[in-house]
Amino acid sequence: MKRIDVLTKILGEIQDEISTLQKQCPHNDVEAEFGSNSGNLCEVDDLYWINVRCKECYKHMRFDSNEHSNEYRKYAKFVK
Ligand SMILES: [Zn+2]
């Protein structure tokens, strides 16, 4: 087996383990930041979102205010 194949296999195993840990994490300790593109000519085109980074598992997530309203509200309290 070529070295690149060995490394690719190890990397895949590591990524699987990270993914499993992130799925199990409750993401209770996060940093969050509002984002928006408001100011469009048509207000219906304005988008609001929250970028969330979990301090425990390092997962990055983005929740749009109109598509993920529950998650958006859940993490809004963490925005500084
Ligand atoms: Zn997490």
Q: What is the pLDDT along the chain (80 residues), one digit of tens a residue?
A: 899 999 999 999 999 999 999 999 999 999 999 999 888 888 888 899 999 999 999 999 999 998 999 999 999 999 98
> Looking at the DSSP assignment, which residues form a beta bridge with residue 41?
none
Distance 10 CA to ligand 1 centre (A): 23
The predicted pLDDT at position 41 comes to 86
Helices in 1-80 by DSSP H: which ranges?
A: 3-24, 69-76
Is 38 in contact with 48 (CB distance < 8 Å)? yes
Range of the domain at 32: 3-76
pTM, two decimals, is 0.79
The predicted pLDDT at position 32 comes to 96
Number of separate domains in the chain: 1
Which residues keep their CB under 5 angstroms from ion ligand 1?
Answer: 25, 27, 54, 56-57
Distance 44 CA to ligand 1 centre (A): 32
Distance 41 CA to ligand 1 centre (A): 37
- The whole-angstrom separation of Cα 29 and Cα 54 is 6
Distance 16 CA to ligand 1 centre (A): 15
The predicted pLDDT at position 38 comes to 85
